[in-house]
A and B are shown apart, each in its own frame.
Chain A
Amino acid sequence: MQVTLLYFARLRERFGMAEEQLSLPEGIQTVAGLIAHLAARGDVWAEELAGERVYRVALDQEMADFSAQLHHGAEVAVFPPVTGG
């Protein structure tokens, strides 16, 4: 399954990229699985995604929770809590 990942604000800077295309290993079906896969990269990925830092996930441009099901071609964005207004 192929997904597009987008990172914003502090996470974009910490990860050193705004976007990446990823072919997910067999068995990853949910946002939770994807986040665990990213956190397994270690270093800043583990610090930001598997530590005490708070972040949000959007699936296809809608806020999503960890149980949300991924699909081929999904756009998944990971970002800090929003601070507009």
Chain B
Amino acid sequence: METLPQATIPSARFHVAVQAEDFDLQAEMRTLSAGDRGIGAITSFVGLVRDLNLADDVVAMELEHYPGMTEKALIRIAEEAAVRWPLHGVSIIHRVGKLYPGDAIVLVLVASAHRHAAFEANAFIMDFLKTRAPFWKKEWTPEGPRWVDARETDYSAAARWHKVVSEQYGNDEHD
């Protein structure tokens, strides 16, 4: 991501957390929207642990991260989104430790006056989280553990935003 001028970052509310515990979608939504009646839309993305990845059965997933850098990277990604879309708030929660198929692994909430900004910023945040936030997945299969390799498609998904955003949207309000 290119460096953005600090002065253009609006006063959106950012909340990031890295935790072993599960999260409560309703409670996080209430926290994000509390006291702000200008919010017209909140989009939520919840990532789940799949039981199938490629060919093998995944029994469990183990998430490692870089304490300190992870939180900074997540805040930076939220700020980058708030520069591009008119946002009222962003909440990102990523779980670490041992997780099992069906478990929630990541939550991204984006609040805005308008739905388009909330939808697009949410997808933007997930694309950059997958390429910029220092998390690593280890899959446990019946044959033993193995580290998950990064996928090229994650990088092309993040790269597309440079084009899309510069062509269609500034930081102006749109609906």
Contacts and interface: CB of A to CB of B under 8 A. Distances in A.
Interface of A: 6, 8-10, 54, 58, 61-63, 77, 79-85
B62 to A, nearest CB: 10
Nearest to B68: A61
B149 to A, nearest CB: 7
- Is chain B's binding surface mostly helix, strand, loop or mixed? mixed
Given A8-B64, A9-B147, A10-B147, A82 B69 contact: no
B87 interface: no
Contacts, number: 72
B96 to A, nearest CB: 9
A85 B64 contact: no
B133 interface: yes
Interface of B: 47, 63-66, 68-69, 72, 94, 105-106, 126, 129-138, 147-150, 154
A58 B132 CA distance: 11
B94 A61 contact: no
